[in-house]
A and B are shown apart, each in its own frame.
Chain A
Amino acid sequence: MIRVEHLSKRYREIVAVDDLSFTVDEGEILGFLGPNGAGKSTTMRIITGYMPPSAGRVEVAGFDVFEHPLEFKRRLGYLPEHPPLYPDLTVREHLGFVADLKGVPRRKRRTEIDRVAELTRIGDVLKRRIGNLSKGYRQRVGLGQALLASPPVLVLDEPTVGLDPSQIMEIRELIKSLGGEHTILLSTHILAEVAMICRKVLIINQGRAVAFDDLETLAENHEESGRSLTLEEIFLKLTAA
């Protein structure tokens, strides 16, 4: 569903992403890990068509971002690191606007907004102005806007940041339940989250892929003194360099 081939991004002399290749199969949730500044957000911005890569190509559902930008973007829901929301609009106005941009038909707009509001538990703030919402609510409105029009591919950049523990559990359950129907690329700092939601992980360090495997295979391949390392230990080991 997502195919990334030899992706590179350079800012003058800094190399943010270096020859990265991976695929995410239909219905799969891929955990995307890496230390701060490893190039996760940059990679996600390229995959969603916000930024062009310096080299390489990206395909979503068979559409290349440069050859068919609209077809590409129609199939993609994106929650950036900082949810892009209009503080002056109410949540309903905002979601209505995004639904229009995504081409949700007028008569289905209301039910579609209510559907994502139900999923992300923001039904009680639909009439509030976004500027007055707490970080947790904004994060969930951002997730709701990514889910509008049910795009087959979701790219979520740290979706549980700023949420309280019970909200984190809810959102994790939600993301897990979205797998199967949606193909999801999930970036996060919380390793436990990956163990809970994903079967497969991609770990990058300094713009390069250092691991791309099933969690089980990864554990089997990293053994020390007779026992499998935890994901945390593997992560630290791989990103130490």
Chain B
Amino acid sequence: MKRTLAIARKEIIAYFTTPIAYVVFAAITVLGSWFFLSLLGQFQRHSFELTRMGRDDMLAHMNLTDQVMVPLVMNLALVLMMSVPFLSMRLLSEEKRQGTMELLLTTPVRPLEIVAGKYIAALAILTTALALTLSYPLLLSAFGSGDQGAVEWPTVLCGYLGLFLLGASAMAVGMFISSLTSSQIVAAFLTLMLLLLTWVVGWKAVDVEGAAREVLLYLSSTQHLISFANGMVELKDVVYYVSYMVLGLFLTHRALEGLRWAA
């Protein structure tokens, strides 16, 4: 455990001494703010129109959670998927390129401790990135108004739980790909492609019917976020993300063990 934490700590120092963490945080904040502002503008226009038309019945259904936060969570998922590859790319490929894998493999550390330490650091960075975007619902609750407060926090936090699980599963996959190559660019590119594939695989579902449709929808990473974003935690969605995570971690561990035999 001590070694796991030492590796996690070293990894976090590396994230912040290289510009990568700052760049990704800045990009997430800029893109996130853009989505937030456009959704907010839409909300504003919509409620203004309804007021002008005197549709108080429909106006009563307008709320910041459903019209701003739920779609924002889905938009943030896209931003997250684009960012994770750049956070996961260096995890193991950097050790290979730098030759420091030789240090890790000749000190009394188990491969499991290496994988766990790296993953903990990656999750810490992911959590920080998500925490930055919590400023949007915080702004809404500070300045907005509604029947039961401006935003329904349980729904919002549930959406963030979904985002965390999505990011964590993507991070595990990215870490595995990073363990396969000593080139960070290759690792980032492959991870991005793979994440995009799991994103768009659901689009094909409109063309097919029956079991095939169910399978395609189940494979799609965003389909599983929809319930979370709307404030529902469903077992099948949790299972989906957790299986990705476990698979990614397991394969990384295997790759590390295998590395010694291939050397």
Contact = CB atoms under 8 A, between A and B. Distances in A.
B107 A98 contact: yes
Most buried by B among A74, A82, A88, A102: A88
Given A51-B263, A52-B260, A101 B99 contact: no
B14 interface: yes
Contacts, number: 77
Interface string A56-79: 000000000000011101101010
A22 interface: no
A118 interface: no
Interface in B1-49: 2-3, 5-7, 9-10, 13-14, 17-18
Contacts of A93: 10, 13
A84 interface: yes
Interface residues of B, number: 27
Interface in B95-117: 98-110
Contacts of B99: 80, 82, 84
Nearest to A142: B103
B3 A100 contact: yes
A76 B6 contact: no
A82 B7 CA distance: 21
Contacts of A45: 102, 263
Interface string A83-106: 011111100010001101111000
Interface of B: 2-3, 5-7, 9-10, 13-14, 17-18, 98-110, 260-261, 263
Given A69-B108, A97-B10, A101-B109, 7 more contacts: A73-B109, A84-B101, A84-B102, A89-B14, A93-B10, A100-B6, A101-B7
29 contacts: A49-B105, A50-B102, A50-B106, A50-B260, A51-B260, A52-B260, A69-B108, A70-B110, A71-B108, A74-B108, A80-B106, A82-B99, A84-B100, A84-B101, A84-B102, A85-B103, A86-B14, A86-B98, A87-B98, A88-B13, A88-B18, A89-B17, A98-B103, A100-B2, A100-B5, A101-B6, A101-B104, A103-B108, A145-B103
Interface of A: 45, 48-52, 69-71, 73-74, 76, 78, 80, 82, 84-89, 93, 97-98, 100-103, 129, 145
